[in-house]
Amino acid sequence: MKKLLLLCSLFVGTSALVSCSSSDDDSSGGDPVANSITLTADVTSIEMGSSVNLTVMNDLDENVTGTSTYYANGAVISQVFTPTAAGSYTIHAENGSLVSNTVTVTVIAVQQDNAIFYNEMNYELANSVLVYYGAVDASDDGIDENTHGLWALVAGNGDFQTTESTNYIQFILLTDLDTEGLPLFPSSEASTYYYSLAYLALDGVDIVTEFGHEADPAFAINADFSETADFSYSASVDGTPIALDYATTYLGYIDQSTSGRPAAVTPISEVNTKIDPILLNALLK
């Protein structure tokens, strides 16, 4: 009888051990869990307007790009990231409780057409006008007589009449006089001479309000003014490079002179410009 009880006890104990072992095997055979994620970018340096494609893999070699959330400098971004400003962006991804490594992407500003490119930013322009101030003595020969026509070439993001320009640039030009003493119209011909940058405002902030702030200017009228203006400019303004390639709307010519105007040219309505013609005339003396 004792032997029978002993055998029964051994059988029960063995069954319990087998049962526990089977339970442990089931637990270890469940789905593996990821412990980390890795973020990569297809590029780490781009020009403005380009995009970065982001990819996230976990340590189980699974692609979890579509289920991850992305951050650039703390702000949520999309998986295909198109920056709107130049600079450096520190990007990381999160997937559940897992946080990835960081990737740094550098965005390089590039000059855009019909915009003032200054301090690695583009400031949009939409319209341009020519302003005629009158005939002036721009020579230094000591003879008091008019030698040139005085003009301003103005471009801005307003219409110069009902809409104020927050981005505004004004150049001073000189043209030869014809045989009757009237100034020639500015053109791509050699009769037009660049004098100076006179005014610059960006995002409503005045940058230049008087002469003498630019160095090494390069100015060119690339086509005669008709319905479209076409001119380019580059220089250094107080040590900061500036550039402009403009080839869009030309509103026309405004006559702000008190004596004479270019022959065969009909002015449009007056507009507000930044530089006083009396001041300009005094500067040229």
pLDDT at 201: 94
30 belongs to a structural domain: no
β-strand 75-77 against 148-156: which pairing, if any?
unpaired
What whole-number distance in Å separates Cα of residue 195 and Cα of residue 5? Answer: 118
Supply the mean pLDDT for the chain. 83
52 belongs to a structural domain: yes
Same-domain check for residues 73 and 181: no
Residue with the larger pLDDT of the pair 274 and 208: 208
Locate 210 and state its tokens.
């008087």
Contacts of 220 (CB under 8 A, 6+ apart): 188, 231, 232, 233
Same-domain check for residues 245 and 168: yes
Same-domain check for residues 263 and 185: yes
Among 78, 108, 138, the domain-final residue is: 108
pLDDT tens track for 176-185: 988 888 888 8
223: containing domain: 115-284
Same-domain check for residues 56 and 173: no
Among 108, 128, 156, the domain-final residue is: 108
Same-domain check for residues 101 and 221: no
Is the pLDDT at 249 greater than 60? The verdict is yes
What whole-number distance in Å separates Cα of residue 213 and Cα of residue 238? Answer: 6
5 belongs to a structural domain: no
Give the DSSP letter string of 136-168: E----SS--S--EEEEEEEEESS-SSSS--SSE
If one counts the domains in the chain, the total is: 2
Write the CATH number for 43: 2.60.40.1080
pLDDT tens track for 60-116: 999 999 999 999 999 999 999 999 888 999 999 999 999 999 999 999 988 999 999
Residue the block writes with tokens 């104990």: 13
pLDDT at 239: 94
148 belongs to a structural domain: yes
4 belongs to a structural domain: no
CB 115 within 8 A of CB 122: yes
232 belongs to a structural domain: yes
Same-domain check for residues 102 and 243: no
221 belongs to a structural domain: yes
Among 108, 139, 155, the domain-final residue is: 108
276 belongs to a structural domain: yes
Mean pLDDT, range 191-210, rounded to an integer? 92
Same-domain check for residues 131 and 194: yes
Same-domain check for residues 83 and 123: no
β-strand 250-255 against 127-136: which pairing, if any?
parallel
Distances (CA, A) of 68 to 54, 75, 76, 92, 97: 10, 14, 11, 10, 11
